[in-house]
Amino acid sequence: MNRPSASWAIGALTVVLVAGACGSSTTSNPPQPSATPAPTSALQTATPSPSLGSPSITPATGSSASPSPSATPNNGIPAFRHIYVIVMENKEYSSIVGSNEAPYLNSLIARYGLATNFFAETHPSEPNYIALTSGGLQGTNSDGHYDLSVPNLFDQIEAAGKTWRVYAQGYPGGCSTGTSFASVVDGPGAAGDYVRKHNPAISYTSISRDPARCARITHLAGFDPAAADFEFIVPNQINDMHSSSVAVGDAFLKVFLPQITESSAFTDSVVFITWDEGSGPINGGGRIATIAISPGMTPGSRYSASANHYSLLRTIEDAWAMPPLGKAAQEAPLTLPY
């Protein structure tokens, strides 16, 4: 069902990072009870828009935002030049927002935008990555080895005439479908294990069985913010907070993110930092932080309507006029002003 949306006060671009929670084994966690969504965060109240199920947008206090990219006809989402998604792991909203362990992330929240009522779909990790990139769980219920022949975001992006890359820290290349690879140094941050369950692209047979396409999944040391229109960043199990602390993940992002935000590719672009799941059962997968970063955003912007990974998928699809996949069609995007 459509959820009422609240407002982001964003000027030019938006960035999202995503991180999830999962264990290091492939054993699924027991089912978690659903719960009533947490009340809307009080920083800014959203007012439903009368059309298209989109939220109205109320800028947060501060200076007016600078012009953003031209909006598409799809719910007013700007046609971003580049979209970057960074997924972190296994931390509840309360472990990030306002935490002394995450000074860099909280500086981004103050400077850019935050979804204050964002929920993961389920536990454990992998189904949330599949939901984010296909619009459904697709029968996944564990951190397993899946070969999915379903429509997905990567296929959509190519069909729309755009390009994509997955930068998976520690990935050995060669279209490997291995479950995990031992700790190596690959780009910024600490050495850590690569795990397949955090790399959704390799679970789609349209990619894993096509050498030319799976070659677009590569290691992080070669990261180039201008290499593709859409870039999905998968830190290793130390830098994504899965097998480490919030402070370690925060330190990794402080080193890595400026590769995007200080580049010319960031102009007219957006970064989303999100988590795969939280640690609690609410709404199936816990309440998680999702941060949007774009050059012209009004500082302290907030999106307070209930949202989830399907909402983020819908935002990407609307930006580039792509039809929504699965349950993304039932969700409102994270609306940005222009």
Task: Look at the chain and report how many structural domains it folds into.
Answer: 1
Check residue 75 and give its pLDDT. Answer: 83
13-23 tens-digit pLDDT: 333 333 333 33
Report if residue 292 sits inside a domain. Answer: yes
Q: Where are the beta strands (DSSP E) in 26-109?
A: 83-89
189-214 tens-digit pLDDT: 999 999 999 999 999 999 999 999 99
Host domain of residue 57: 16-21+44-330
Check residue 267 and give its pLDDT. Answer: 96
Report if residue 110 sits inside a domain. Answer: yes
Average pLDDT, the chain: 83
What percent of the chain lies above the pLDDT cut of 90?
Answer: 74
Report if residue 5 sits inside a domain. Answer: no
237 burial level (CB within 10 Å; 0-12, 13-18, 19+): buried
Report if residue 335 sits inside a domain. Answer: no
Report if residue 326 sits inside a domain. Answer: yes
Check residue 95 and give its pLDDT. Answer: 98
CA distance 259 to 237: 20
pTM (predicted TM-score): 0.80
Is it the case that residue 39 has pLDDT exceeding 90?
A: no
Check residue 280 and give its pLDDT. Answer: 87
Check residue 69 and give its pLDDT. Answer: 47
Report if residue 337 sits inside a domain. Answer: no
Report if residue 205 sits inside a domain. Answer: yes
Yes or no: say if 335 and 2 are a contact pair by the CB < 8 Å rule.
Answer: no
C-beta neighbour count of 228 within 10 angstroms: 20
Check residue 74 and give its pLDDT. Answer: 76
Yes or no: say if 40 and 305 are a contact pair by the CB < 8 Å rule.
Answer: yes
Please identify which residue in the block is written with the tokens 């697709």: 138
Torsion of CA 125, 127, 133, 134, to 10 degrees: 180
297-309 tens-digit pLDDT: 999 999 999 999 9
Structure tokens at 154: 């990567």
163-179 mean pLDDT:
97
Report if residue 35 sits inside a domain. Answer: no
| CA R_g for the chain | 18
Is it the case that residue 152 has pLDDT exceeding 90?
A: yes
Exposed e or buried b per residue across 295-315, where buried means at least 16 C-beta atoms within 10 angstroms of its C-beta: bbbbbbbbbbbbbbbbbbbbb
Q: What is the CATH number of the domain that holds 173?
A: 3.40.720.10
